Structure 1
Amino acid sequence: MREISSSVTFEIKAGETVPMKIARSTRLKVNCGAVWVTRSDDTEDYWLESGHTLRLRRGERLWLSVEGGPEAQVAFAVPARADVRALDWLMRLGDRFGMRLRDGWRTV
């Protein structure tokens, strides 16, 4: 069983079933093709086509398969940690403030 703990993109061939375990909350996106998704602890199955996404919870098991097409490409995107996102936001804010401050000094 493949474990997903980071952002990754890969292809699934027709007739292939790929079992997975989700180590961190992530988002599944189908880049091309169509994918049949079965999730643990979920009575529903999902048919995702190109461009569709599905949020996945940490610890759940997943089975992906392709039916009726040659292959599909899927991408797992793990969000950045909250502290990393906050630091990036502060850096962007500082850059914007600094830019305005410099522009203000030039006009004086």
Structure 2
Amino acid sequence: MREISSDITFEVAVNQTASVRVARSTRLTVRCGTVWVTRSDDTADYWLEPGHTLRLRRGERLWIGAEGGAPAWVAFAAPSRLGERVVDWGARVAQRAGVHIGDGWRTV
């Protein structure tokens, strides 16, 4: 299992599943190929194509696989520490107020 705590791009090989733990709030972007993503705290699976992004929360685990018989490239980009603290603070405030933000953000 890989731990993501900074910006990184890697290849997801065909017929293999990459296991990832998110150490900091991060954005996953598909650079090449099509991938599926399963998240530890989400009942939905995500199929993402090049250019699609998925915002990830600190502490969650992911399983990523390439679709379509070809390898894929995914990039993880961690926001600045200040940006991460603001996002975490906003999530805590919303949770205390009883606002359900959802099981994950996705821009597709």
Do the two structures share a fold, i.e. TM-score over 0.5? yes
TM-score (norm 2): 0.74
Q: Distance in 1 between matches of 2:54 and 2:10?
A: 16
Which of structures 1 and 2 has the bigger CA Rg?
A: 1
1:1-108 matches, within 5 Å, as 1-82=1-82
TM-score (norm 1): 0.74
SS in 2 for 1:41: coil
Report deviation, 1:32. 0.7
Q: Which runs of 5+ in 2 are unaligned?
A: 84-108
Q: Deviations over 1:65-88 (max 9, x none)?
A: 0122321000000011218xxxxx
Q: Distance in 2 between matches of 1:29 and 1:69?
A: 19
Query: How much is the aligned-residue C-alpha RMSD, in angstroms?
Result: 1.1
The 4+ residue runs of structure 1 with deviation greater than 2 A are none
Q: Distance in 2 between matches of 1:5 and 1:40?
A: 17
Report deviation, 1:12. 0.7
Q: How many residues were matched structurally?
A: 83
